[in-house]
Structure 1
Amino acid sequence: MAASEQDTGSNTIKDPADWTTGDEPATGAQKSYLNTLASEAHEDVPEELTKAEASERIDDLQEKTGRGR
């Protein structure tokens, strides 16, 4: 399977809204990567994000910067 294809039947790919730990604070790695992406996109990132919010924001910023895809 190509990297751009996703197996929609896979249980390894979950919507962040469905994560059992999605309401926990964003991890240090998420915050670091978000800051890198936000800097490249010339955008601000809120300080207090949950894991799920951080993941969604990472996806948005990757689209804008062309990273990670």
Structure 2
Amino acid sequence: MSTQPIDDNPKAHPTGNAVKDPDDWTTGGEPMTGAQASYLKTLSEEANEEFNPELNKADASKKIDELQDKTGRGE
């Protein structure tokens, strides 16, 4: 049994790692999810930008953040 303080254990904080840099995701290189694709397509249309269906999960997440800022949806 570990005597590690609870504050040092990331699993002790269910949302502690919820916001993680997409570059650090272990599954970031996988194809984007259906939900990401749908939302990214909507944002791309609103921002008058081309939708790229070939983005991986990490790149799709970054593009979503970028387009949310551009369209004002991220507020």
Tell me the TM-score range normalised by the shorter chain: 0.7 to 0.9
* Amino-acid identity (%): 63
Partner of 1:6: none
TM-score computed with the length of structure 2 as normaliser: 0.75
- Structure 1 stretches of 4+ with a deviation exceeding 2 A read none
Mapped pair 1:14 → 2:24: no
CA deviation string 1:11-57 (max 9, x = no partner): 22100000000000000000000010010000002121100000000
Mapped pair 1:31 → 2:31: no
* 5+ residue gaps, structure 2: 1-15
TM-score computed with the length of structure 1 as normaliser: 0.81
- The structure whose Rg is larger is 2
